[in-house]
């Protein structure tokens, strides 16, 4: 709970008072939600496929402050899940987070964030990593800081650092600590369409139980605005990865390419995005990094002012070869399909129905698994101060 107190102190020190010349926008937003779910494989297991009905209640509070220079927020809450048959999986998760952005001058701004959470669902990381975990409590601490500086009318620089620390309550999953440092430059180009050239250099440090992995990225890219609604981004470049054992003298190096390609369209009726990324990444609960390729598609269509339809497709491919850096052979493909409907009663209340199918194809071991899930979700927030 110490991390939660630190985040609260971080937020309380913010300068919420504003001078008369500044536009002050302070909001207090409590929220509650409930989700009724049927899941035919609650642990996303290969052998023990237990189905169940799950009721989850959400509760929390948001505080937001915005002036001409300052944007800040604090969110705290939790979720309690009750299983009809698998009562041993009943849990109460909690989270705290704070964020701050302050513009010191017209050219220079600082940003920071901090977060703490305790969660236990087996599928908590399935959408982002393609992996499932056991239903064990994980305590996560996250911190980040960044700075943006406008060097000229067309040239902007920025630097960021982030830190993540995951601890599990028992030894069935591996703890992990991750540090990232990023430096970037962007420059507006004089072309017929708004175009920005991009350069990124990133250093990542993964500290696993028995291994330390360091990864260096250099990417060059471009972001082009083809219209008011359509943007395309492309970053690509080389990487260098090194690994060393904590308990032996074994070490190894590896090289490759990485990057991302993103198409984003925002319209009045239709919104969609398609992204493809390839990188070296570590995952919470595991003992080594993998070569991860992700393909994500999101589409939302507004049927009426209140009703909208959504379709999400996620493909995550994790692969390693048997070597000193990545450990044994590992090759898994995770595919998720998520259609949903959402009805907004007003800006503070909505109801959503979603079906989700997930399949994991283990191309090395015999660990294929699949899951069907359907739920109804109702959320309401009421502005106490707005």
> Euclidean distance between the first and final Cα of the chain, in Å?
29
Output the pLDDT for position 1: 52
Contacts of 152 by beta carbon, 8 Å cutoff, 6+ apart = none
* Token duo for residue 288: 């080594």
| Domains in the chain with CATH codes | 2-13+92-381 (2.40.160)
Predicted confidence at residue 322, as pLDDT, reads 58
Query: How far is Cα 111 from Cα 103, in angstroms, rounded to an integer?
Result: 9
pLDDT of residue 24: 67
DSSP 182-247: EEEEEEEE-SSS-EEEEEEEEEEEEE-SSEEEEEEEEEEEEEEESSSSEEEEEEEEEEEEEEEESS
- Classify 85 as helix, strand or coil: coil
pLDDT digits (tens, 9 = 90+) for 219-241: 999 999 999 999 999 999 999 99
DSSP reduced 3-state for 6: helix
CA distance 25 to 70: 10
In the prediction, which pLDDT does 296 show?
97
Residue ranges in the chain whose pLDDT is less than 50: 6, 10-11, 14-22
The whole-number pLDDT of residue 328 equals 56
Q: How far is CA 185 from CA 61, 143, 367, in A?
A: 37, 23, 44
Q: Which residues pair with 260 in a beta bridge?
A: 235, 277
**Angstrom distance (rounded) from CA 376 to CA 351:** 7
pLDDT at 36: 98
Task: State phi, psi for 2 to the nearest 5 degrees.
Answer: -60, -40
Cα distances (Å, whole numbers) of residue 254 to 70, 239, 251, 323, 326:
43, 8, 11, 10, 10
- Nearest Cα neighbor of 383 from 349, 344, 345, 352 is 349
Provide the whole-model pTM.
0.86
230-245 and 138-150 strand pairing: unpaired
pLDDT attached to residue 81: 95
| pLDDT on residue 12 | 52
The token pair at 108 is 């220079």
Q: What is the pLDDT of residue 151?
A: 96
């Amino acid at each position: 709970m110490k991390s939660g107190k630190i985040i609260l102190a971080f937020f309380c020190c913010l300068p919420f008072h504003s001078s008369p010349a500044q536009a002050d926008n302070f909001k207090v937003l409590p929220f509650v939600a409930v989700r009724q779910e049927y899941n035919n494989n609650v642990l996303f297991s290969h052998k023990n496929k237990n189905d169940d009905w799950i009721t989850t209640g959400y509760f929390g509070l948001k505080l937001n402050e915005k002036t001409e220079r300052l944007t800040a927020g604090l969110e705290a809450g939790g979720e309690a899940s009750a299983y009809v048959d698998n009562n041993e999986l009943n849990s109460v998760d909690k989270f705290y987070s704070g964020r701050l952005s302050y513009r010191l001058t017209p050219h220079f701004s600082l940003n920071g964030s901090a977060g703490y959470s305790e969660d236990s669902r087996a599928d908590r990381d399935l959408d982002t990593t393609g992996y499932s975990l056991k239903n064990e409590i994980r305590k996560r601490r996250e911190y980040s800081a960044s700075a943006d500086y406008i060097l000229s009318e067309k040239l902007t620089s920025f630097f960021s650092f982030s830190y993540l620390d995951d601890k599990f309550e028992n030894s069935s999953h591996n703890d992990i600590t991750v540090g990232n440092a990023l430096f970037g430059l962007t420059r507006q180009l004089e072309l017929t369409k708004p175009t920005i050239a991009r350069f990124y250099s990133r250093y990542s440090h993964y500290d696993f139980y028995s291994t330390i992995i360091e990864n260096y990225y250099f990417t060059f890219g471009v972001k082009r605005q083809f219209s008011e609604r359509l943007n395309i981004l492309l970053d690509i470049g080389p990487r260098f990865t090194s690994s060393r054992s904590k308990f032996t003298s074994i070490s190894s190096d590896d090289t490759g390419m990485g990057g991302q390609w993103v198409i984003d369209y925002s319209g009045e009726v239709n919104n969609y995005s398609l992204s493809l990324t390839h990188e070296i990444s570590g995952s919470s609960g595991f003992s080594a990094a993998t070569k991860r390729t992700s393909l994500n598609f999101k589409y939302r269509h507004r049927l009426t002012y209140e009703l909208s339809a959504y379709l999400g497709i996620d493909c995550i491919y994790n692969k390693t070869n048997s070597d000193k850096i990545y450990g044994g052979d590992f090759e898994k493909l995770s595919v998720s399909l998520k259609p949903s409907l959402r009805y907004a009663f007003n800006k503070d209340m909505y109801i959503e129905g979603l079906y989700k199918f997930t399949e994991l194809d283990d191309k090395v071991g015999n660990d294929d698994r699949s899951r069907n899930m359907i739920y109804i979700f109702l959320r309401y927030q009421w502005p106490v101060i707005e």
